[in-house]
Amino acid sequence: MSVMNVRPTRPVRSRRRITGAAVAIAATLGLVSLSACSAMSSDGRTADGKLQVIASFYPLEFLAKEIGGDHVKVTGLTKPGVEPHDLELTPKQTGSLADAGAIVYLKGLQPAVDEAIKQSGNKHIADAASLTSLEKHGNEVDGHHHTTGDNHSGSSGDEDSSGDEHGHEGHAHEDGSADPHIWLDPVKYAEVAKGVATTLGKADPDHKADYEKNATALGTKLDALNKKFAEGLKNRASDTFITTHAAFGYLAERYGLTEEAISGVDPESEPSAARMKDLHKLAEDHHVSTVFFETLANPATAKTLAKDLKLKTDVLDPLEGITDDSRGHDYFEVMESNLAALRKALGTK
């Protein structure tokens, strides 16, 4: 993968930080409160024998369900309508991590989850950030220097990023500055799916073949989605789109677009006056027609910018959660809606 020139961005962080000490206390309370049910499910299975899988937020919850199928019961830590960066765990949620059959998360996105998983001692952990390559993206990502056809694989998923092997430590996202939004690139998302299947297979060897088969089928669907985006975004009038926050850097790279974000990777960070001035000029110079906002973040700044420039507004969903306001019921439906919105905004023929 070629190296892009991107503006540096501040580390990804939650607006409501939870300290390591607080998580440790919550873990203790959670383990005590769950001691009764832990005795019954210490093997990480439900009463009817399904593998209990905990996923940190929607994109990984979707993967776990698609790959696990009827063999798993998946519980998401981030409820619908909650901005994932803001998540604070309850003692019950924290305690449940130790008893889960497997955990699927993305290190660096949710500090409270990172710390709780570290405390859990669980041995079957899939860290999505270790299953593909992460990059640093700023407010601007120019995808013209990226070869869209390449499959820039990270880990193949052969090494289980489990707690005993510390497979999820020491990656580029460790300093918190890498862009975590890998699920918005179907190619990277498929790479993560393979690694999740590997972790589920180690946690539940009896159904390993089924997990691998399901991951392959999901990969085929994601490949078709990738091709649909590549074809659908050809012959466009403009390459540049403006979004609320820098969630679409990998998507921009994949399809040769330029993302201009009002804020950085944190959706609630406030843009500077200089940044707003830059966006005014960029919108005029690159014939931008639309300012995108999203369902889980405050749209006020995006709508103000659009009003000042007499531009349209529309939704481009970063798919951090599915709500009643989402333009689709699952990952694929919302991604199709995103493609339609981009085609309209970029003036594709």
Q: Does residue 138 register a pLDDT over 50?
A: yes
Residue 129's φ and ψ, nearest 5 degrees, are -70, -20
For 153, half-sphere exposure in the C-beta direction (CA atoms, 13 angstrom radius) is 9
Contact yes or no for 182/132 (Cβ under 8 A): yes
Coil, strand or helix at 324: coil
Contact yes or no for 251/214 (Cβ under 8 A): no
96 or 160, which is more confident? 96
Rounded Cα–Cα distance for residues 100 and 37 (Å):
12
Which pLDDT score is estimated for 101?
98
150 or 93, which is more confident? 93
132: DSSP letter:
B
Range of 100-104, 156-160, 309-313 with top mean pLDDT: 100-104
Which residue type, as a one-letter code, is found at position 250? Y
For the chain, the residue count is 349
Rounded Cα–Cα distance for residues 116 and 131 (Å):
20
Mean pLDDT of 155-159: 40
Rounded Cα–Cα distance for residues 47 and 58 (Å):
25
Mean pLDDT of 109-113: 96
Of 66, 348, 62, 13, which Cα lies nearest the Cα of 177?
13
DSSP 203-262: H-GGGHHHHHHHHHHHHHHHHHHHHHHHHHTSS-S--EEEESSS--HHHHHHTT-EEEES
Contacts of 304 (CB under 8 A, 6+ apart): none
Q: Does residue 126 register a pLDDT over 90?
A: yes
Which residue type, as a one-letter code, is found at position 290? T
Which pLDDT score is estimated for 140?
57
What superfamily would CATH give domain 20-129+157-229?
A: Nitrogenase molybdenum iron protein domain (3.40.50.1980)
- The C-alpha torsion from 269 through 12 and 105 to 224, rounded to 10°, is 70
- The pLDDT confidence band at residue 244, using thresholds 50, 70 and 90, is confident
What is the CB neighbour count within 10 angstroms for residue 15? 11
Which residue type, as a one-letter code, is found at position 315? V
Q: Which residues pair with 211 in a beta bridge?
A: none
What percent of the chain is modeled with pLDDT above 90? 60
Can 20-129+157-229 and 231-346 be said to share one CATH topology?
yes
Locate the domains of the chain by residue range. 20-129+157-229, 231-346
Least confident of 3-17, 29-43, 120-134, 249-263: 3-17
Range of 42-51, 87-96, 155-164 with top mean pLDDT: 87-96
Q: Does residue 145 register a pLDDT over 50?
A: no
Mean pLDDT of 2-13: 39
Residue range 29-86, pLDDT digits in tens: 444 444 434 433 568 999 999 999 999 999 999 999 999 999 999 999 999 988 898 8
- The C-alpha torsion from 244 through 248 and 253 to 258, rounded to 10°, is -20
CATH of the domain spanning 231-346: 3.40.50.1980
Tell me the average pLDDT of the chain: 82
172 or 319, which is more confident? 319
